Copies of this chain bind each other. A is one copy, B any other.
Amino acid sequence: MSIISDSAHLSDLSVVKSVSLTSALEKELERLILTGELEPGVRINEIHLSNRFGTSRGPIREATRSLEAKGLVEVVRNRGVFVRRLSVEDAIEIYDVRAALFGQAGRLLAERMTDGLLAELTRMVDEMDAVAERGSFDDYYPLNLGFHNLIVSSCGNRTLLAEYHRFVNKLHLFRARALVQGGGLAVSNREHRAMLEALASGDGERAQVTHWRHVALAKRRLIAAVDGHARND
């Protein structure tokens, strides 16, 4: 029973010498965690990993310490490191932080909006409407992600962008991850239109409120889904 199912990415590690082995390992571990190949709660065995990657334990320990600071794993003394497992309460807390950050991004973006960007965002929302009508969730999800990413990436605050990504990533550690993506497609996209209008108006305050509310409503949908799921247990 191997922890890592596919080691095809390892070759990349040895080839690239311009970047440190530690950070390459960290990236690879982060990928394994975010894709779910290393499931939440699983213990990460240093020896297994070092054998798998063909390195010593040192760089692996450094990489896991970095991941610990990022909140992706948990280190317990003399017992090892575990892929962090998010409770429902943790996920809800993250939604509040995300709402705050996304609202701020909306405000900043509204105050530096360009016609080209507005056109691109509008195009994305139109496309999402079309996909939502077909009810195709698997197609909707990446579009939705790209829409949000474009907003935060364009707001002009790189610190905010990094933090936003950190928290969106952390949500991958939520066991009932499917619930996160739940909720009505059409409803969500209606909120997108409200955000678009606020961004187009150039009113930062208004944009902040609409963007904040969009995440707050997603949080509500998550809570409702969790409650419904609990009833069905």
* Other-chain residue from B58, B66, B77 in contact with A58 (beta carbon distance below 8 A): B58
Task: Judge if A20 is at the interface, Cβ distance under 8 Å.
Answer: yes
Q: Is A97 in contact with B66, judged by CB distance below 8 angstroms? A: no
Task: Judge if A104 is at the interface, Cβ distance under 8 Å.
Answer: yes
- Please, which residues of chain B bring their CB within 8 A of the CB of A163? 97, 163
Q: Is A93 in contact with B19, judged by CB distance below 8 angstroms? A: no
* Other-chain residue from B67, B69, B96, B108 in contact with A104 (beta carbon distance below 8 A): B96
- Please, which residues of chain B bring their CB within 8 A of the CB of A83? none
Q: Is A93 in contact with B62, judged by CB distance below 8 angstroms? A: no
* Other-chain residue from B18, B90, B158 in contact with A159 (beta carbon distance below 8 A): B90
- Please, which residues of chain B bring their CB within 8 A of the CB of A97? 101, 104, 157, 159-160, 163
Measured CB to CB, the nearest residue on chain B to A209 is: B205
- Please, which residues of chain B bring their CB within 8 A of the CB of A66? 65-66, 68-69
Enumerate 30 A-B pairs (CB-CB under 8 Å) in ascending A order: A19-B77, A20-B75, A20-B77, A22-B65, A58-B61, A61-B62, A63-B65, A65-B65, A65-B66, A65-B69, A68-B69, A69-B69, A69-B70, A90-B159, A93-B158, A93-B159, A93-B160, A96-B104, A96-B108, A96-B159, A96-B160, A97-B104, A97-B159, A97-B163, A99-B104, A100-B100, A100-B101, A100-B103, A100-B160, A163-B163
